[in-house]
Amino acid sequence: MSQIKGSVSSDIVWHSHVLGKAQREAANGHPALVIWFTGLSGSGKSTLAGALEQALFARGIKTYLLDGDNLRHGLCSDLGFSDIDRRENIRRVGEVSKLMVDAGLVVLTAFISPNKTERQKIRELMKEGQFIEVHVDTPLEICEARDPKGLYKKARAGELRNFTGIDAVYEAPEHPDIYLDGAKPVGSSIEKLLFILKNYGILPD
């Protein structure tokens, strides 16, 4: 990808709609926000995000899950894995998440998103309390042992460059909103997530 986001043309004017997030939240019966899962490849973030979405959906919460691989089949199919492209990938996901929050949804995302600055930019797109950073902290050796896509094996063999955790840095959150031990059973992590999410008004006490 050779071109990234530039400044917005002065000819483009934001159009305010009659219906807004507040009305959609009221109709849905819960606040809208982003639950952003970050962690190494193989950490379990996609599994946890999927399990949490099912748990929320079963409780009547309006949700949508954005998964990294899925978006690279469409919205981000023109991007590679250079540092610039990976940043653009996360920027697009942030903008889509913002739109879905405006639609009144609880948005779950599962992205390595290794850069602290890029994650902070997404937080700043949202209003206070609308971005929940969930760090799925799983030791590298466990992630490699899982290696569901065989990516670590390729990275160790030198067949895959710029792979997070091997030859590219993962900047772990210093103060995530929610910390999860990725080595623990999925069920216990979901229980912890549901308990904490009550504080955000998504679920009743």
Q: What is the DSSP string of 42-65?
A: TSSHHHHHHHHHHHHHHTT--EEE
What's the confidence (pLDDT) of residue 63? 97
Mean pLDDT over each residue of the chain, to the nearest integer: 90
Which amino acid would we find at residue 127?
K
What's the token pair of residue 168? Answer: 């590219």
Residue 16 annotated as catalytic: no
The strand pairing partners of 181, in sequence order, are 137
What's the confidence (pLDDT) of residue 67? 85
Residue 41 assigned as binding residue: yes
Residue 46 assigned as binding residue: yes
Q: What is the mean pLDDT of residues 23-41?
A: 94
pLDDT beyond 80 at 13? no
What's the token pair of residue 68? Answer: 């990294």
What's the confidence (pLDDT) of residue 3? 45
Residue 68 assigned as binding residue: no
pLDDT digits (tens, 9 = 90+) for 178-198: 999 999 999 999 999 999 999
Neighbours of 21 (CB within 10 A): 16
Output the pTM of the full model.
0.89
- Helix (H) or strand (E) holding 88, with range, is helix 83-102
pLDDT beyond 90 at 15? no
Residue 182 assigned as binding residue: no
What's the confidence (pLDDT) of residue 14? 59
Residue 39 assigned as binding residue: yes
What's the confidence (pLDDT) of residue 134? 98
Q: What is the mean pLDDT of residues 77-87?
A: 86
Give the angle subtended at the CA of 57 by the CAs of 193 and 93, to the nearest 5°: 75
